[in-house]
Amino acid sequence: MASGRVRHHGRVMPIAPRDPLPSMALGADAWAAAHDELVGLLRDVIRIPSINPPNPPGAETEVAELLASRLRAEGLEPEIVEPVPGRGTVHVRLRGDGTGGDPFLLLSHLDVVPVDAHGWTHDPFAADVADGYIWGRGAVDMKFMVAMEAMVVILLARRARAAGLDPARDPIPGLRRDVLFTCSSDEEAGGTDGVKWLVEHRPDMLRAAGAVNEAGAVSVDVAGHRFYPIMTAEKGRETYRISVHGTWGHGSMPRDDNAINLAAEAIRRLASPGEPRIVGPMRALLDGVEAILPPEAAALTRAISGEDPRRADAAVSRLCDEMYARALRALLRDTISAGVIHAGIKYNIIPGEAVIEIDCRTLPGTTEGDMREEVLARLGDLAPRCDVEHVIGAPPVEWPASGELYDILSDTIRAHDPDGVPVPVMAPFATDAKWTVLLGTPTYGFSPLRNEPGERFLERFHGQDERVSLEALRWGLPVLYDATCRFCA
């Protein structure tokens, strides 16, 4: 595949390939029909409230069965596995001719987080189409990618059927690698009953030369330039339960060792921002952005990675919208967020016990032991009153921002948006890549969307009025199709 390089602001950047893209073979009418089909499929999966923790039980398997039925209609033979009843994962394999090496994995998850419908503009599970968007829980995280990946598989199966082949058994014309589609349960609760279980019991559903997953290649507009951050790394996560010991007493006689007061002070100390530290993936992002931006904005980017934390923080505020600034600050340090506090049994009883649950996200190079020491250091003289229990954790994940798959993902973005700039990025949250790394499957965040400037996409994750743009989906489906076909061709 022919491609080239161009020097931009002193840096060598890839340019789009000169070879025709696979999507061009389908034509505009076929892509318009595929978009309509994608919208219908996405609305159908949003309407199933596959909430995790399971509510109602069995909804994850219901989504898996819906997807499986659509794949069977295309002549495929999908499989559903249930590590526990009601928590299904759907999987199907398309075959290449066997000459291209290990498979390519399209990875996604079918569960969503709980929702409080108060304050939503649309019913979270109605999948309304309005104002150019599809609305509903999971529209962003991550049922749009579920539907896009399923449509890529469907389009490839139709390619085989058009050639008179059996897509369940015969090689798909033009593919040298197999394509795996694995849509799992339980990602929103850590993946124990999802991808972690598959790693341990069905690694054939996940082992691949490379994979694409959620949370990457969604356009970001900064200083008049459109960037597409491709996720090459993600922070680690460590969850702790802190039991705070005070003294029980009568509410009429306040005391300093009220466990609620102690817990409140502990939370205040834990919430203090840590020291910034620029790690490899973020250095690559900042360097890539700096190379493109005009001089004033480029100087702000340099200041972000400088030695003065206050100047760096001010530069973040000046360069970025607050939505992106919040994400960037989280990517420059280990973070601690208090998520749950339990205390008290009656208003007139001073509680002697309180429990805090905290969510810690760690940069590459920070171990669980390092994080525990940081928690204890912030607690300071409160530490003797606290029992710190490690609940669950996973280390940071990192893949190279180079090589065949990354270059194809990057060049495919440029081919569909010549003015767009792909850059590597680290995610502040965890995905199922935490588990695929155990099989050595490089798993990049690549769920391509081209949003309008000003769209508050990051705020849609786990938020109110979750929605995805119809036009962004129209742009993204052929991008994902081309990336899949080019890596497997």
Two tokens, residue 213: 């997953």
**In the chain, which residues have pLDDT < 70?**
1-18
Predicted pLDDT at 344: 97
Q: What is the pLDDT of residue 13?
A: 45
Secondary-structure class of domain 4-231+397-488 per CATH: alpha beta
Q: Residue with structure tokens 């970001």?
A: 220
Enumerate residues 6+ apart whose C-beta is below 8 A from 205.
81, 89, 91, 180, 182, 198
Contact status, residue 115 vs residue 461, Cβ threshold 8 Å: no
Q: What pLDDT does residue 421 have?
A: 96
- Concatenating the DSSP letter of every residue in 86-104 gives T--EEEEEE---S-S-S-E
Q: In the CATH scheme, what is the code of domain 236-274+334-394? A: 3.30.70.360
- Give the pLDDT of residue 63: 98
User: How far apart, in whole angstroms, are the C-alpha atoms of residue 149 and residue 161?
Assistant: 19
**Count of H-run helices and E-run strands, the chain:** 14, 21
Q: State the average pLDDT for the chain.
A: 94
- The reported pLDDT for the residue numbered 330 is 95
pLDDT of residue 7: 36
pLDDT digits (tens, 9 = 90+) for 191-211: 999 999 999 999 999 999 999
Q: What is the pLDDT of residues 80-114, one digit of tens each?
A: 999 999 999 999 999 999 999 999 999 999 999 99
Distances (CA, A) of 337 to 6, 35, 357, 369: 43, 39, 9, 18
Model pLDDT, residue 12: 37
* Residues 221 and 430 sit within 8 Å (Cβ to Cβ): no
Q: What is the CA radius of gyration of the chain?
A: 24
**If DSSP states are collapsed to H, E and C, what string results for 380-430?**
HHHHHHEEEEEEEEECCEECCCCCHHHHHHHHHHHHHCCCCEEEEEEECCC
- The per-residue pLDDT for 55 is 82
What are the sequence ranges of the domains in the chain?
4-231+397-488, 236-274+334-394
Could you write out the DSSP letters of every residue in 160-174? HHHTT--TTTSPPTT
